[in-house]
Amino acid sequence: MYKVAVLPGDGIGTEIVDSALAVLDAVAESHKFLISYEKALFGGAAYDEYGNPFPEETLEIVNRSDAILLGAVGGPKWDEVERTLRPESGLLSIRKKLGLYSNIRPVKYFPILAEKVAWKPENLEGVDLVIFRELTGGAYFGEKGRNGDQAYDTISYSKEEIRRIVKDAFEMAMKRKKLLHSIDKANVLETSRLWREVVLEVAKEYPEVQVEHQYVDNAAFQLIINPRQYDVVVTENMFGDILSDEAASIAGSLGMLPSASLGGEINLYEPAHGSAPDIAGQDKANPIATILSAAMMLRTSFNEDQAAKAIEDAIENVLAKGFATGDIAGKDSTIVGTIEFTEKVCEEIRSN
């Protein structure tokens, strides 16, 4: 029995998580394994109830689970809340407490969504890359504060913090095309110079992997003009946050991108997008990123590769038949809501 802590979060979180759970139930039935869920409050919903976005009550549920499925957190409702208690701070806290130092975001081009991307389709054919973003260091976790009219955020990294995620990226590169791009700003930042030194050290352990170094500003440009050059990308926290969101445009929508936060005994899976409070409760949310995150959970935490592939194939089949939520619908698409799209994915799983 696989035990999953379910943290729906805020906004559309409840809807997209319900979609993922329905798909998980369908694939568990067809692939003959057992899975159970225990829900808990997280983010703004937890702040409203407990005054803390990641309360002890939720931590207890997380600690007795095998993996975590998270919806989305945040929204303008909590804009005036103290920074350390805002919904997003719950994400920083859970990553730190569980030792989740590595965020993995697959980015894939879906030809069926050609109308929704800014590039010519021929420039995107075959794009299938993975971004490794360091999660627990850098400016987001460094010392920060105000001093009169000044404000500061400190970027800090140790060799070990860099080495562990770089090594994970090399391991992934070995399983794919044996190509790794390391993104830094070594011409300006001392932390980036250390980053590059560590990458070069680790590279000696993986002589089969071709390593390319790029400055982050150039990488942002290259992602737009030639994304096919990338396979595995590794970078620090803030750069990874920005580049992975930029890369979402390759998929046509943030609603297409899953992610996994790894490194601890209990790993976390979530969509790359936010809580979209403006469409919450309207059956408009795109559940694909969350469903694909659930597939990543099956593959990574539970070694259910066939079940994960069944989910991925089902989504592609539904899209190929022309069904899509409004955010990704083209001129020939049949627009369906969150619930109907989920039902069609479940039907595909059960029929194959």
Q: Out of 108, 116, 185, 344, pick the active-site residue.
A: 185
Q: Out of 231, 241, 327, 344, pick the active-site residue.
A: 241
Q: Out of 2, 101, 109, 140, pick the active-site residue.
A: 140
313 is catalytic: no
* CA-based nearest residue to 302, from 13, 36, 11, 10: 36
Q: Out of 144, 159, 217, 278, pick the active-site residue.
A: 217
77 is catalytic: no
Q: Out of 25, 48, 245, 313, pick the active-site residue.
A: 245
278 is catalytic: no
2 is catalytic: no
283 is catalytic: no
Q: CA angle 212-272-267, nearest 5°? A: 85
CA distance 129 to 127: 6
CA distance 296 to 270: 9
Q: Please identify every residue annotated as catalytic.
A: 140, 185, 217, 241, 245
